[in-house]
Amino acid sequence: MTGPSASGRGRRATWLRRGLPVLLVALVAGLLVWALDGDGDPGSTAAPESSAAPSSDPGTVEPEATPTGSPAPITQASAAEVVAREGVPESARTVAATQVNFAVPSEWSDGASVRVVDAVQQVTEGRGPGELAGQPQTVFTLELTNGTGASLDLNGVVVQATYGSSATQAAPLYDDETTDFGGSLEPGATATAVYSFAVPEDQLGDVTLSVDVDGFRFPAVFTGAVPAR
């Protein structure tokens, strides 16, 4: 038998030089895949990674939930019967006032008086500071007459409203209609102001409105049913 020809031996050498490296690379890659896949267990599969919830687009504004129904009236703690005045002792209050219903004026013993000119029940439109739309709103128009012989300082007038058997204080509401008393009221002159409170409509039968002018007179008080229109 004759030996392989020189051309045959050359072809085998060429195959070994070209094919052997490829086989080695394939073998190493297979070993790496086997080692990383389930610690060498051919039957195990890698658990799928949990994907994080997609974050919302920072440029997208989520719509706010729309509240249903009318908001509840804003209320506070029970109102103080008399407003404390800095630098004025409680004993300085000597001018008495009458407690009346909403249909007649309340008069102080020195001749000054105040009356409720008008009362309107409505709902807020959300235009004033901190005002929520749809709140019950009772608007009182007050007229104060100076029947004394001296001027009255109206810069410190405090008006409060309460309702119900527990005398729940109604929060004051401010909008384009409200106007506080202010300035100096000369003898014989009259001043008008508008105050607004969050009084529920079903509580208008039991309301107390107090007008505290200064630290020298007791508050004028209106109580009973509000003749709101």
| Co-location of 82 and 22 in the same domain | no
CATH number at 119 reads 2.60.40.1240
| Co-location of 21 and 96 in the same domain | no
| Residue 127 belongs to a domain | yes
Confidence of residue 145 (pLDDT cuts 50, 70, 90): very high
More confident residue, 67 or 178: 178
Question: 124-133 pLDDT, tens per residue?
Answer: 887 766 667 8
More confident residue, 118 or 81: 118
| Residue 61 belongs to a domain | no
| Residue 52 belongs to a domain | no
- Please tell me the predicted confidence (pLDDT) of residue 87: 81
| Residue 167 belongs to a domain | yes
| Co-location of 106 and 161 in the same domain | yes
| Co-location of 208 and 112 in the same domain | yes
| Co-location of 20 and 81 in the same domain | no
| Residue 66 belongs to a domain | no
Burial 56-87 (b: 16+ CB within 10 A, else e): eeeeeeeeeeeeeeeeebbbeeeeeeebebee
More confident residue, 110 or 37: 110
Task: Show the CA angle centred on residue 102, arms to residues 99 and 103, nearest 5°.
Answer: 110
Is residue 13 predicted with pLDDT exceeding 60? no
| Co-location of 13 and 97 in the same domain | no
Q: What are phi and psi of 160, to 5 degrees?
A: -130, 155
> Number of folded domains in the chain?
2
Question: 167-221 pLDDT, tens per residue?
Answer: 999 999 988 889 999 999 999 999 999 999 999 999 999 999 999 999 999 999 9
| Residue 121 belongs to a domain | yes
| Co-location of 16 and 120 in the same domain | no
What are 8's two structure tokens? 């045959």
| Co-location of 79 and 173 in the same domain | yes
| Co-location of 34 and 130 in the same domain | no
| Residue 180 belongs to a domain | yes
d(CA 2, CA 185): 140
| Co-location of 82 and 11 in the same domain | no
Question: 91-114 pLDDT, tens per residue?
Answer: 899 999 999 999 999 999 999 999
Confidence of residue 70 (pLDDT cuts 50, 70, 90): very low
Domain span holding position 18: 7-39
| Residue 68 belongs to a domain | no
Confidence of residue 90 (pLDDT cuts 50, 70, 90): confident
- Please tell me the predicted confidence (pLDDT) of residue 34: 58
Is residue 79 predicted with pLDDT exceeding 60? no
In the block, which residue shows the tokens 């102001």? 193
- Please tell me the predicted confidence (pLDDT) of residue 96: 96
Its pTM stands at: 0.64
| Co-location of 130 and 211 in the same domain | yes
Q: Within 13 Å of residue 41, how many CA atoms lie on the same side as its CB? A: 6
Give the contacts of 158 (CB within 8 A, at least 6 positions apart).
83, 212
| Co-location of 122 and 215 in the same domain | yes
Question: 152-171 pLDDT, tens per residue?
Answer: 999 999 999 999 999 999 99
**Residue ranges in the chain assigned as alpha helix (H):** 6-36
